[in-house]
Structure 1
Amino acid sequence: MTENEISTKIIGLAIEVHKVLGPGLLESAYKESLFYMINKHGLKVEKEKSMPLIFEEVKLDCGYRIDLLVENKLVMEIKSVDSLNDIHLAQTLTYLKLGNYKLGLLINFNEVLLKSGIRRIVNNL
């Protein structure tokens, strides 16, 4: 599957999770529910994937973690905040660059309509 195909499927699953849970829960509730749904639909998914930082050719473990990595291609950053801001976008883009991934989804579940909280982020390698 391509990144775009994976992204389309994941957005559909996120909408299903949001329909059941609604807004207002902790980020961890949405992350665990989405992790479960992605597994249930037969996609490979890693949770809290460690993302080391390479600085002057030294690999540093700084505690960066991707919320969900799907099919080793799609970076997912899950939020439950009043609104997404530039730092959330920057964080996701940083993960894309550090891992050399092409596409990320930043999803804020704390929205009445989930569609309003979804951002696709592209790394122009």
Structure 2
Amino acid sequence: MALIPDDWTGEIIGAAIDVHRHLGPGLLESAYEICLAAELESRGVAVQRQLALPVCYKGRRLDAGYRIDLLVEQSVVVELKAVARLEPIHDAELLTYLKLAGLRYGLLLNFNVPVLKHGIRRILNG
């Protein structure tokens, strides 16, 4: 598909809504992650799960244990949550991932809500 990253966010949100409608709230984050990845793949969207994100320190790339939940089309970082409510620390976490990855577009999706539109945040780096 020939979409720009901003268009990918719409595609990702549509897929996430389908997953949420099917599963509902209350599951572990990992269940939503694998189902969202499968939904995106079924739509012909390239997605990587649990992608290692090294920290660059004084010219060295170090594995600090950071993992991107989903990287869509090499351009959108998707961070999934299944929490009572999104907190500012969740925004900061995604922004950090965007900075470390050198990417601009991110989506924070909280599946532990009655209606998914109340659990969506778009985050831009820069």
State TM-score, norm by structure 2: 0.97
Counterpart mapping for 1:47-58 below 5 A = 47-58=49-60
Shift, 1:58, TM fit: 1.2
Match of 1:67 among 66, 69, 79: 69
The alignment of Structure 1 onto Structure 2 pairs a total of residues equal to 124
Provide the rounded CA distance (Å) in 1 between the counterparts of 2:22 and 2:106: 24
User: Which residue of structure 2 aligns with residue 14 of structure 1?
Assistant: 16
Question: Percent of counterpart pairs with the same letter?
Answer: 48
Structure 2 unaligned segments of length 5 or more: list them: none
Q: Describe the SS at the equivalent of 2:107.
A: strand
User: Which residue of structure 2 aligns with residue 101 of structure 1?
Assistant: 103
For residue 96 of structure 1, what is the amino acid of its counterpart?
A: L
Provide the rounded CA distance (Å) in 2 between the counterparts of 1:60 and 1:29: 29
Aligned Cα root-mean-square deviation (Å): 0.5
Structure 1 unaligned segments of length 5 or more: list them: none
State TM-score, norm by structure 1: 0.98
**Shift >6 Å, 4+ stretches:** none
Provide the rounded CA distance (Å) in 1 between the counterparts of 2:27 and 2:110: 11
